[in-house]
Amino acid sequence: MTSDRPTPQPGIFNIDPYVPGKSNLPGTGAVIKLSSNETPFGASPKAIEAYKRASSSLQLYPDGSSQELRQAISDHHGIEADQILCGAGSDELLNLLANAYLGPGDEAIYTKHGFLVYPIAIMANGATPVVANETDFITNVDAILEKVDPKTKMVFIANPNNPTGTYIPFEEVRRLHQSLPANVVLVLDGAYAEYVHANDYKAGIELVASSNNVVMTRTFSKIYGLASLRVGWAYCPLEIADVLNRIRGPFNLSAPAIMAGAAAIKDKQFIEEARVQTRIWREWVTKQCQDLGLEVTPSAGNFVLIHFPNASEFSAHKADDFLISKRIVLRRLDNYHLANALRMTIGSADDCRATLDALTQFMDPNHQRPGF
């Protein structure tokens, strides 16, 4: 059948476009932006220097294989450079995986409050997203396994997950992998891996190394502070790296991105400091919210999921409006089925204090303590 207009691939009109965290507000005055899990520490000064050095040869195409960056990642993590594929953010890599392994008739599984880039990537390729329930906002391996059927081609889990902040122990990831059919790609999104302190956590390097159907994706957008440059990478079995290399853009990373990323990963001290400070302030924010009577889902990342009481005067929407009146922006989560929660990025000490002051005012101690 011919149509009188260009028609996109099936599934594309089922996609709700991704809505990023708000970044500016009407009016003047500084905004405290805690809506996109960006680091308050900026990028390493060494990464900034490398970025500036790159400005002297902007007329040249970048190295299409991102060799310098892959080598720096390889050295840092002790993994084979041939199995590393860099992307313009991990978003590009998640989409390349879906491009390569999903099509109409296929299914891909993600969790109830999983990252919204997954259903977009799944549906953009005509495949069907299948949602597995979580337990207390935590990925439930058995619930995922129950959804596996002969059409399943891919499983995405973010560990820790965004926007919940929760993680599952590596033994659970291993159990998931052992129970999946060998033709299913298991994608482990480790965007927040650097922030995790738990002893039972691993991002998945050993699972990639010992299998041919596990891919781990990582990003320079969070703890490395390079979100604006769009730098991510995937550690893949050789065969999958070969597949993705065939379909990626030939120059998918810019030279400044390659050079800044390589310098950033070498500055271990800078990252360690960010990691330690984030934990301190995450614990502080969690405790302060709890003292206000707010429930906080235990987080391993650089953000917390704050649940508001059912009483309408204390709803997440009202809290958000109140915070915005103070020029503080958190993330609304209506499109994550979490309409009565807000996600707060762990910002600088000052930003955390200002936000808690505002939340304290919102929860007005003169009111009755709201019950859940």
Ligand X SMILES: *Cc1c(COP(=O)(O)O)cnc(C)c1O
Binding residues for ligand X, rule: CB under 6 A, are 37, 89-91, 115, 158, 162, 189, 191, 219, 221-222, 227, 232
Minimum distance between the CB of residue 170 and ligand X, rounded to whole angstroms? 18
Per DSSP, what are the bridge partners of residue 132? 111
Per DSSP, what are the bridge partners of residue 166? none
Residue 92: name the closest of 232, 276, 282 by CA. 232
Pick 39 or 221: Cβ nearer ligand X = 221
Minimum distance between the CB of residue 196 and ligand X, rounded to whole angstroms? 13
Pick 235 or 314: Cβ nearer ligand X = 235
Q: Note whether 100 and 243 are within 8 A (CB).
A: yes
From CA 372, how far away is CA 367, in angstroms rounded? 15
From CA 198, how far away is CA 109, in angstroms rounded? 26
Minimum distance between the CB of residue 257 and ligand X, rounded to whole angstroms? 11
DSSP letter at 302 equals: S
From CA 290, how far away is CA 301, in angstroms rounded? 18
Minimum distance between the CB of residue 90 and ligand X, rounded to whole angstroms? 4
Minimum distance between the CB of residue 310 and ligand X, rounded to whole angstroms? 27
Pick 116 or 180: Cβ nearer ligand X = 116
Q: Would you call 117 helix, strand, or coil by DSSP?
A: helix
Residue 306: name the closest of 337, 284, 331, 278 by CA. 331
Pick 90 or 288: Cβ nearer ligand X = 90
Which residue has the closest beta carbon to ligand X? 89
From CA 345, how far away is CA 171, in angstroms rounded? 28
Minimum distance between the CB of residue 239 and ligand X, rounded to whole angstroms? 23
Pick 101 or 314: Cβ nearer ligand X = 101
Residue 328: name the closest of 338, 313, 343 by CA. 343
Pick 232 or 256: Cβ nearer ligand X = 232
